[in-house]
Amino acid sequence: MQTIEKLIASASVFDGLEREQLEVIAGCGRNEHAESGAFLLREGEPAARFFLIRRGTVGLEVQAPGRTLTIETLHPGDPVGWSWLFAPYRWQLDARALEPCELIGFDGVCLRGKCEADHDLGYRLMRRFAENLVDRLQATRLQLLDVYGHA
C-alpha cells in the first residue's frame, strides 16, 4: 500500500513541494471513501477540511429553489475545497460524490496551523492553490461567456 505522502506527491496541487513539506501535509491527511451520492461539503457549513480525489468524480453543486445545478465536476488529481484556507472558513458550494470515490481527506485546521508555523510551506502551498484557483477561475469565465448560446 502506498503511503499518503507518495499518493499526494503526484498531485499537481502539491507539485514542487519538498519531501519534508509533503510529509507535513501527509500528516494532516487520511484515506477516505465516499459512496455515490454522499456529500463531502455542504454550503454554509464550517470549512475545516478539504479533499484530494484519488478515484471517482465529485460534482460541485448549487441548490436553487426546485432544482440542483452542477456547475463543475472534479476528477482524480483535483483538490476539492478552497474555503478552509480563507476566512470566514465556510463552504460556498455543495460537493457530492457522483460515483464511489476514493479520497484523501485533510484536516484543514491542522494544515493552516502548520502553514502559520512554517511560512515557506505556507507560501508554497498557497501558491499551488492559487494556480488551481486561477485555472478554474479562467474556466468559469469561459462558462459565463455562454459561447454556445450565441450563434
Partner 1 sequence: MLETGVGHSPLGRGPMVPEPFEVTSRRQDTADTWTLELERTSGDPLDFAPGQFTMLSAGGGGEVPISISGDPDRPERLVHTVRAVGLATEAICAADCGRVLGARGPFGVPWPVEQAEGADVVIAAGGIGLAPLRPAILRMLARRERYGRLVLLYGGRAPDQLLYADELGAWGERGLEVLVTVDSAGPEWLGHVGVVTRLVSRAGLAGGDTFAMTCGPEVMMRFTVAALREAGIDADRVFVSMERNMQCAIGHCGHCQLGPTLVCRDGPVYRWSELAPWLAIREL
CA distance 60 to 128: 20
Near partner 1 by CB under 8 A: residue from 75, 113, 116, 133: 75
Size of the site for partner 1 (CB under 8 A): 25
Residue 65 binding partner 1, by CB under 8 A? no
Examine residue 65 and say whether the peptide bond preceding it is cis (omega within 30 degrees of 0). Answer: no
- Give me the residue label for grid cell 477540511: 49
**Out of 16, 65, 88, 149, which residue is the one contacting partner 1 (CB under 8 A)?**
149
Nearer to partner 1, 97 or 121 (CB): 97
- Complex with partner 1: residue 39 or 89, whichever CB lies closer: 39
Q: Judged by CB, which is closer to partner 1: 87, or 147?
A: 147
Residues 80-139 close enough to bind partner 1 by CB under 8 A: 98-99, 138-139
147 burial class (0-12, 13-18, 19+ CB within 10 angstroms)? exposed
- Looking at residue 36, the DSSP 8-state letter turns out to be T
Query: Quick check: 48 binds partner 1 (CB under 8 A)?
Result: no
Provide the minimum distance between the beta carbon of 35 and partner 1 in the complex, in angstroms, as a whole number: 15
Considering only residues 19, 35, 67, 88, which one is a binding residue for partner 1 as defined by CB under 8 A? Answer: 67
Q: How many CB atoms lie within 10 A of CB 59?
A: 19
Residue 77 · residue 11 · CB < 8 Å: yes
Q: Which candidate, 138, 135, 129, 102, places its Cα nearest to that of 17?
A: 129
| Backbone dihedral angles phi then psi of residue 62, each to the nearest 5 degrees | -120, 130
Q: Which residues contact partner 1 (rule: CB under 8 A)?
A: 57, 59-61, 67-73, 75, 98-99, 138-139, 142-143, 145-151
